[in-house]
Amino acid sequence: IFKTHAQANNHLSIKSNSKVDSLFINIILEGKVKYQSNPYDKIETFKKNDTYIKYIDEYNSTTILDKDDFSKGLAISIKNDFLEKNLSSQFCLLEKLRKSKNENLSTFIHKKDTQTNIKLANELFNSPFCGGLHDIYIQSKVLEIIYNEFNEVNKCFCKDEYNCEKIKLSKEDIEALYKARDIILLTHDFPNLSTLARKVSINEFKLKFGFKKLF
């Protein structure tokens, strides 16, 4: 979880770059902030109660606050291992989110969020607890926000009639899947899914989806 609370006396521009490889849910609680994903993307302005969700493999961005602007917000970073463990059955949804970063989409969703998630985000930002109770409180709120957001994304896909039948395995994908099966059956030379995916040059989601479809 990343909390931000900033006020600018002068124009402020913060550039940052890091490898993250995570799905981010961002909620603006107060004020506004401008955001540019990389030097070539357009600058987007996010205001109070705006929520956006985006898959980021490498964080290369600029955050901008104009003079006298202020911003208060919350970002939840969801790592790949959490997605794989808890949402592997949502292959189509996860694949679409991952692909969105390569489809000239600066954000996958940009909308006025439900008051439910705004309320949850404010409670997260201002946890009244400490120690073990704080950990339980934070975890419960984060999981509820993730649930609500994925429900919202699923509704968007229903409108677009997006489903697993539209996920196609190319000839190269199928060859990679057979190589992966051989590694499992013949050599047992892989400690985890991400390593196996890298060995055969396929992403983890398609690896799992392809195994279910072919084998």
Residues sharing a CB contact under 8 Å with residue 108, sequence separation 6 or more, in sequence order: 52, 53, 54, 55, 97, 100, 153
Mean pLDDT over residues 104-132, rounded?
Answer: 79
Q: pLDDT tens for residues 165-187?
A: 556 788 999 999 999 999 999 88
CA angle 49/26/83 to nearest 5° reads: 135
Q: What is the pLDDT of residue 26?
A: 92
Residues in CB range of 80: below 8 A, 6 or more apart: 21, 22, 194, 204
User: How open is the CA angle 190-18-77, to the nearest 5 degrees?
Assistant: 75
Q: Is the dihedral of CA 152, 158, 162, 165 positive or negative?
A: positive
pLDDT in tens, 121-146: 999 999 999 999 999 999 999 999 99
pLDDT at 161: 46
